[in-house]
Amino acid sequence: MQMVLGVIQQVALIPVFLHYWSSDILAAWLVVYAIGSLVPIADFGLQFRAINRFLAFKSGVDCDGRTARFFAAMLRIYLGLAGFLVVLVLAGARLLSPSVAFGFQAISDFDAAFLVMTVGLLLTLPANLVSGLYRARGLYGRAVNLQSIGMLVGQVVQLIAIVATGSLLAVIVAYVATQMAVAVYFVADVPRLFPFLRGVRVKLSMRWIIGQLQYAAPFAVAGAAELALLNIPVLLVSALVSDRVAVAQWGLTRVVAGLLRMLCIQTTLPLAAELGHDYAVGLRERLRSLYARGSVFVTLLASVVVSGLLPFWPDFFALWTHGAVPYDPVLAITLLIGTAAVAPSILALGYANYSNRGTLLVRTKGLQLAVFLVLSVVLIQRIGPLGAAIAVIASDLMIQFGLLGIIILRQTLQRPFAHIAVLVMLMVTVTLCGWGLGTAIRSLLPWTGLTRFVAECALWLCVVGLVASPLLSARLRNGLIARIPT
């Protein structure tokens, strides 16, 4: 449900926005949305620090008492951090106008939209601590359900705002207000679910606070790098490319790759939490089996999705943008295939976060961010948005997959390179077969427009479903799972 709502937010609402906005205002929306998506970097890794502590408490004495004291102390840090960052953002916006920095002087309410997005989402940071406790205590589904309800309500309110006002600022207020409402409910409701949190008072020393920030720093670097790869390319293209249509083209094409990446992340989050639990309590055989199956699953999922997107994305893009934004096939293919190729490393990243591998994270993700930034500055100025795509994919393949992913595989599995060979074979086979099937279907169907797009997608899904139907047999599935190298 969360992924469906994510698709609605970033894909289905775009044609509605284009009906009321010009491509310049749409580009402004994409930039401000990317800025809002970068706000979780301000968590500074405290959420993963808290999750690892909550998991560690489960294997010790007085689990509830230690959890309650740590939760109360961390909540005070979060509240102070959010307040400090809000003041910092307001002061920074006074010194340098956001519309000037990002090239949107023609959009009258861009500065106000920027402040509403950043300040509002910064105030939601304390909810991260509650979400972390939910994950550690097996209530991950509750957190996702509440967030999904907030997203759904937010999308309805955004539609009302744009139809009633046509204003960029009104849409962003609608988006942020629902996020803040969900965050307030998270923090207010958690004592009801965990009564042991009530009435706990703690005294914090500056030394303890600094210590928590130091322990969280590796997770902050990893989280910053991951969010940067998703969102900073939009900002860099906006700042370095003068053509606003090219900015909109990049932002819209990046949406599909970002959604694919988020699909993989959302798929691996509950797996990573379970792996972190097994790691914390020493269940090595169960951990190895779960990691191997999870790695194959996320690879298969990404490959199937990409194999369907590659042939049909051009038709959808034309319908999606009403022809107002040109389609760039090289850009789309580069982003989609590259994102699918690094899908297994997303599980490795999640597991590293949940197993307290701070040193490994800070070294690899810090290096990846540096490589990405250098390549982006060099390539965007030479070849435009395609340079940003190459920078993202190259840094992913070289560092996240080639370094972090392989290190985690070697530390976790007994036959890591045999496992990689299976993943590569699976990815290439599924992607090429699905892409070839889609290309054949496109060449056979006679219609045009929406009718053609719906028909070709439906036919592709039917054929793929028929080919995959033998997997309904538990005996066949178990036999295939048993052959996965661990």
pLDDT block averages, 10 residues each, the chain of length 486: 80 83 83 84 86 81 84 90 92 87 83 92 91 83 85 92 90 93 90 85 86 85 75 76 75 82 85 83 85 92 92 85 79 90 90 83 86 87 85 89 90 91 93 92 84 90 92 89 88
Burial of 299 (0-12, 13-18, 19+ CB in 10 A): buried
189: left (phi over 0), alpha (psi -120 to 50) or beta: alpha
By the 8 A CB rule, do 168 and 158 touch?
no
The C-alpha torsion from 213 through 408 and 139 to 136, rounded to 10°, is -40
Query: Rounded distance, CA 65 to CA 71, Å?
Result: 10
Query: Rounded distance, CA 266 to CA 274, Å?
Result: 14
Query: Rounded distance, CA 116 to CA 175, Å?
Result: 10
Task: Name the DSSP class of 97.
Answer: -
Query: Rounded distance, CA 140 to CA 430, Å?
Result: 31
Closest listed residue to residue 179, CA positions, set 5, 28, 27? 5
Query: Rounded distance, CA 226 to CA 41, Å?
Result: 9
Query: Rounded distance, CA 192 to CA 196, Å?
Result: 9
Position 30 scores a pLDDT of: 84
By the 8 A CB rule, do 282 and 274 touch?
no
- Dihedral sign for Cα atoms in the order 77, 78, 79, 82: positive
Q: Chain-centre distance of CA 109, in angstroms?
A: 28
Position 24 scores a pLDDT of: 82
Position 486 scores a pLDDT of: 85
Position 324 scores a pLDDT of: 72
Closest listed residue to residue 73, CA positions, set 181, 180, 215? 215
Please name the amino acid found at residue 93: A
Query: Rounded distance, CA 186 to CA 217, Å?
Result: 25
By the 8 A CB rule, do 143 and 55 touch?
no
The C-alpha torsion from 109 through 114 and 120 to 126, rounded to 10°, is 180
For the chain, the average pLDDT equals 86
Local structure of 446: helix, strand or coil:
coil
Query: Rounded distance, CA 403 to CA 411, Å?
Result: 12
First-to-last alpha carbon distance for the chain, in angstroms, is 31
Query: b or e along 426-436 (b: 16 or more beta carbons within 10 Å of the residue's beta carbon)?
Result: bbeebbeebbe
Position 251 scores a pLDDT of: 77
The C-alpha torsion from 188 through 190 and 193 to 198, rounded to 10°, is -90
Local structure of 242: helix, strand or coil:
coil
Query: Rounded distance, CA 374 to CA 353, Å?
Result: 25
Please name the amino acid found at residue 185: Y
Whose tokens are 């395609």? That residue is 386
Position 205 scores a pLDDT of: 86
Six-digit token pair at 216? 């969280």
Instruction: Convert the pLDDT of each residue in 428-471 to its tens digit.
Output: 999 999 999 999 998 888 887 888 888 988 999 999 999 999 98
414 phi, psi to nearest 5 deg:
-85, -25
Position 106 scores a pLDDT of: 82
DSSP per position, 341-359: HTHHHHHHHHHHHHTT-HH
Six-digit token pair at 451? 């009718």
Instruction: Convert the pLDDT of each residue in 387-437 to its tens digit.
Output: 888 988 999 899 988 888 899 999 899 899 999 999 999 999 999 999 999
Position 221 scores a pLDDT of: 79
